[in-house]
Amino acid sequence: MDILITGVGGQGTLLASRVLGKYALDNNLDCKLSEVHGMSQRGGSVITFVRIGDNIASPLIEEGGADIILAFEKLEALRYAHYLKKDGFLLYSSQEIMPMPVVTGACAYPTDIEERLPKNSKAIDALALAEQAGSAKAANSVILGAFTKIMNLSYDKMKAALMGSIPQKLADINDKAFDLGYNF
Amino acid sequence: MKKMLLGDFAIARGAYEAGVHVATAYPGTPSTEITEELSRYPEVNSEWAPNEKVAMEVAIGSSLHGARTIVGMKHVGLNVAADPLFTVAYTGVNAGLVVCVADDPSMFSSQNEQDTRLIARAANVPVIEPSNSQECKDFAALAFEISEKYDTPVILRVTTRVAHSQSLVEIGERKEVAVKPYVKDIAKYVMMPANAKKRHIVVEERLKKLTADSNTFDINRVEMKDTELGIICAGGVYNYVKEALPNASVLKLGMVYPLPYDMIKKFVAGVKRCIVIEELEGHIEGLLKANGIANVEGKNVFGIQGEFSVNLIKEKILGQKTEYTVADIPARPPVLCAGCPHRSVFYTLNKLKVSVMGDIGCYTLGAVPPLCAIEATVCMGASIGMAVGAEKADPAFARNTVAVIGDSTFIHSGLTGIVEAVYNHSNVTVIILDNRTTGMTGHQNNPANGKDIHNNPTYEVDLEKVCLSLGVPSVSVVDPYDLVAMEKTIKEELSKDGVSVIISKRPCVLLTKALYKGFLVTDKCKKCRACMKLGCPAISFSENGAKIDTSLCTECGLCQKVCKFGAIEKIGG
């Protein structure tokens, strides 16, 4: 299973990918994650690849190769939509974060993103659900919950991987956030 | 037990298990995490050095005195450390000395795309290159063995995709290795001509022996399949080759310098067509051709730019191009964070139409719109020299040109720039952006913030006193959130004769984990867009005027200060 996670630097995409890595490890599957550190993390577009299977060589997902895309921001969903397989699924947060060229007025934030995304796409208001769970920062757990349901993965095992990846004091909020995503 | 590990963490684990005693580095993406991880092991004496050259010298000293040592850096850091590297190749080591260098094909976080293998070759130092996290761990341990067996420093080279990918690693136990006795050996360790001439002979013999022995190294291996096509590759590229060309015969090199020519000759003879697939320079291909193995292809098929991929290999070799359309949408470049203390400096320099010679760090983002303040960035520490040079070209530049450099970068290689300026009668103005940390690489402590690698208190280099003692006649300290003082100070210092240093001092906003209510824009907004010139990611603009995203706002107050209509207020007063 090839999962592409994208968002804006600082949104918590890295943690989501690491939870998936832990899930793979807990289930005796081979896994490779490819992360981006350094300059791009400063509010730039970030992309993380997670590949889970029996024997994974490359840590990269190629264009047209992702089974599922998890986008933490709407514009970023469109930016990497060409990585999706023909029969793949794209889950995106309806949150909009203005990139600097939009902020400066050099160009506009596209208003037709929904129409341009692949047919097999679904929006989730991860930010609102995360706030409902207790913190806007738990949006990644919301998305992980929804992902677990969509891909028909084990609720218990993914929840365990999530709980094993976050500090104890954030457990309650993320537990709720995951459930809100799962039941979305 | 298996664990998911980042390549960098796996290198740290491998060094740890191999009994490493000393770890030193200057932070640099994508190598930083090696030393960060090693600092968590109490058995390892770890540190941040002020720069890569000093790190390399510390590493040489501890190796000669019997301690297994690893020194880490990014590719451009090796340039800084090149001087000691070239000569420690002559002295050899006592305990194992591993130089871990991370290259950055595609420049995710670098100023160039140089290839460490070429420097290693020039320095006559062997290089091994892992392709995944398990190999990162295994090769780190092996590097110590090769280093001690052949009495040479060994470069462990990784690329971003290997350093910053996670994969499964079998975790082992640490094998304690005793610190070797130090033996005084002037002929081996004092590199003056008479001794160095003899050592150069040793270097050549060592390389010949390594070249011959590498044919039997397990890390160089042939995977014979279809003989129509043979691929020679190493490191991360091996993974792409296995996916793109599952039927091809592959010679996977674990050691990329020197090369196992006998093994390669046999492999090339056994396949119909042989292609070397290597990112960056044609290092392997060039060596093969220089050593009489002419029947290989390489850079005629693949270029020297960027990182490779499965799709690229399929396209170049099989002619299978994956069709896809990339959406034409606004780019999302990295930006200075909301509340970044660097912002007001660039805002003011832009306003005063001052030309800025820049440096390496988060603040390089002062070059992107709308700030567009920085006009040149080359390497660590270059800002000061470039600003001095501007004045040499035309004295008038001293009145409208500044150098801008971060605190960690200033310690790394800005001090000599200040000496150059005071010594050579310069009138340059230098702004030190002191955000109390090494920001871009992920907030490492440095000699100017009073904390060591373990976050323990240590001597804090006082930047103000340093500049004064080097002979700078005018040193001022300004809070960058004070826009009025910032503008006044920059104007004054530019007009002064002699060297001026302005220390813009405030901690990186990411270090203060406070909760903010944020600011809001009231209906007094006249849509003049003055706040938009700050380039703050928390402020956006529409036909309704400016709007502040309270989830990003850190209440730095700059927008409130630049608003002439009092339209920006703090939420809750």
For every residue of B395-412, DSSP letters joined together read GGGGGTEEEEEEHHHHHH
Which residues of chain B neighbour A54 with C-beta distances below 8 Å?
none
Looking at the complex, does the CB of residue B368 fall below 8 Å from at least one CB of chain A? yes
So what's the pLDDT on residue A38?
63
Taking a C-beta distance cutoff of 8 angstroms, is the pair B64, B94 a contact? yes
Q: Which residue of B has its CA nearest to A105?
A: B541
pLDDT of residue B121: 98
Structure tokens at B291: 């050593």
Residues of B numbered 148-167 whose beta carbons fall under 8 angstroms of chain A's beta carbons: which are they? 161, 164-167
Q: Answer for the pair B259, B207: CB distance below 8 angstroms, yes or no.
A: no
Q: Is A25 close to B167, i.e. CB distance below 8 A?
A: no
Probe site for chain A from B158, B239, B332, B548 (most A CB atoms < 10 A) = B332
Token reading at B228: 């129509």
Q: Is the pLDDT of residue A117 over 80?
A: yes
- In this predicted structure, what is the pLDDT of residue B497? 97
CA distance to partner chain A, nearest, from residue B199 (Å): 40
- Tell me whether 0.90 is exceeded by the ipTM: yes
Q: Which of the following CATH numbers is that of domain A2-182: 3.90.950.20, 3.40.50.450, 2.60.260.20, 3.40.920.10?
A: 3.40.920.10
Given an 8 Å threshold on Cβ–Cβ distance, is A59 in contact with B161? yes
Task: Say if B337 is an interface residue toward chain A (CB within 8 Å).
Answer: yes
pLDDT tens-digit readout, B422-431? 999 999 999 9
Interface contact B30-A38, CB threshold 8 A: yes
Q: Which residue of A has its CA nearest to B170?
A: A25
Q: Does B277 touch chain A (CB under 8 A)?
A: no
Q: How far apart are the C-alpha atoms of B168 and A84, rounded to whole Å?
A: 26
Nearest Cα to Cα of residue B2 among A100, A22, A55, A87: A22
Residue with tokens 């992902």: A147
Classify B374 as helix, strand or coil.
Answer: strand
Give all domains of chain B, ordered by start, each with its CATH number. Answer: 2-216 (3.40.50.970), 221-318 (3.40.50.920), 343-505 (3.40.50.970), 519-570 (3.30.70.20)
**Which residue numbers in chain B have pLDDT < 50?**
none
CA dihedral sign of residues B269, B270, B274, B280: negative
CA distance B163 to chain A (A): 9
User: d(Cα B252, Cα B269) in Å, to the nearest integer?
Assistant: 16
B516's tokens: 């903010």
CA distance B155 to chain A (A): 23
Measured between beta carbons, the chain A residues lying within 8 angstroms of B102 are none
Whether residues A58 and B242 touch (CB distance < 8 A) is answered with yes
Distance (Å, whole) CA B20 – CA B222: 31
Size of interface A-B (CB pairs under 8 A): 171
For residue B105, the 8-state DSSP code is T
A44 vs B2, B322, B332: nearest CB: B332
- Residue keyed to tokens 């677990």: A148
Chain A CB contacts of B551 under 8 Å are 136
- Yes or no: say if B437 and B408 are a contact pair by the CB < 8 Å rule: yes
B326 vs A: CB within 8 A? yes
Mutation site, A19, A47, A104, A107, interface B, largest B CB count within 10 A: A104
Closest CA to A7 of A137, A179, A103: A137
B161 to chain A: which residues are within 8 Å by CB? 34, 59-60
Question: B324 touching A, CB under 8 A?
Answer: yes
Q: Helices A126-133 and A171-182: crossing angle, nearest 10°? A: 140
Question: Per the CB < 8 Å rule, is A35 touching B164?
Answer: yes
| B53: Cβ contacts below 8 Å, ≥ 6 apart | B80, B81, B83, B84
| B334: preceding bond cis by omega (within 30 degrees) | no
Choose among B335, B280, B262, B297: nearest CA to B537: B335
**Which of A76, A97, A104 faces B369 most closely, judged by CB atoms?**
A104
B25 DSSP assignment: E
Please name the residues between 491 and 510 in chain B that touch chain A, using a CB distance below 8 Å: none
Q: Where are the domains of chain A?
A: 2-182
Chain A residues whose CB is inside 8 A of the B334 CB are 9, 39-44
Residues with Cβ within 8 Å of B285's Cβ and at least 6 positions away in sequence, in order, are B276, B278, B296, B297, B298, B299
What percent of chain B is predicted at pLDDT more than 90?
A: 96
- To the question of pTM greater than 0.90 for the whole model, the response is yes
Contacts of A79 in chain B (CB under 8 A): 327, 329, 332
Q: Nearest CB to B29: which of A37, A75, A109? A: A37
Cβ of B167 within 8 Å of Cβ of A33? The answer is: yes
Testing the interface with A: which of B110, B131, B329 to mutate, by most A Cβ within 10 A? Answer: B329
- SS3 letters across A156-184: HHHHHHHHCCCCHHHHHHHHHHHHHHHCC
Q: Classify residue A98 as exposed, middle or buried by CB count within 10 Å of its CB (0-12, 13-18, 19+).
A: buried
Q: Is B30 on the interface with A (CB under 8 A)?
A: yes
Neighbours of B400 (CB within 10 A): 14
Q: Cβ A100–B442 below 8 Å, yes or no?
A: no
CA–CA distance, B406 with B359 (Å, rounded to integer):
8
Q: How far is A162 from chain B (nearest CA, A)?
A: 15
Name the residue in chain B with its Cα closest to that of A20. B4
Contact across the interface for A38 and B441, Cβ inside 8 Å: yes
Using an 8 Å CB-CB cutoff, list chain A residues near B309. 58, 60, 62
Asked if B29 has any chain A CB less than 8 Å from its own CB, the reply is: yes
CA distance B493 to A22: 55
CB pair distance less than 8 Å for B240 and A106 = no
Partner-chain residue, chosen from A18, A22, A79, that has the shortest CB–CB distance to B329: A79
Mean pLDDT of A12-40: 88
Written as one letter, the residue type at B385 is G
The Cα-based distances of B8 to A41, A92, B167, B215, B479 in angstroms read 18, 31, 11, 28, 37
Q: Which residues of B315-325 are buried (b: 16+ CB within 10 A; e: fewer)?
A: ebbeeeeeeee
Who contacts B153 (Cβ-Cβ below 8 Å, separation ≥6)?
A: B63, B85, B88, B89, B93, B97, B98, B99, B125, B147
Question: Rounded to a whole number, what is the distance in Å from the CA of B108 to chain A's nearest CA?
Answer: 7
Block residue for tokens 């290092």: B283
Question: Model confidence over A32-78: pLDDT tens digits?
Answer: 999 877 666 678 899 999 999 988 999 999 999 999 999 999 999 99
A112, closest residue in chain B (CA to CA): B329
Tokens of A85: 């397989």
d(CA B154, CA B284): 18
Interface touch B108/A40, C-beta < 8 Å:
yes
Chain B's closest residue to A117, CA to CA, is: B327
Cα separation of B250 and B505, whole Å? 55
Question: Which residues does chain B have within 8 Å of residue A84's beta carbon, measured at their own beta carbons?
Answer: none
CB B24 within 8 A of CB B35: yes
Listed in sequence order, the residues at least 6 apart from B116 whose beta carbon sits closer than 8 Å to its beta carbon are: B75, B78, B101, B103, B127, B155, B157
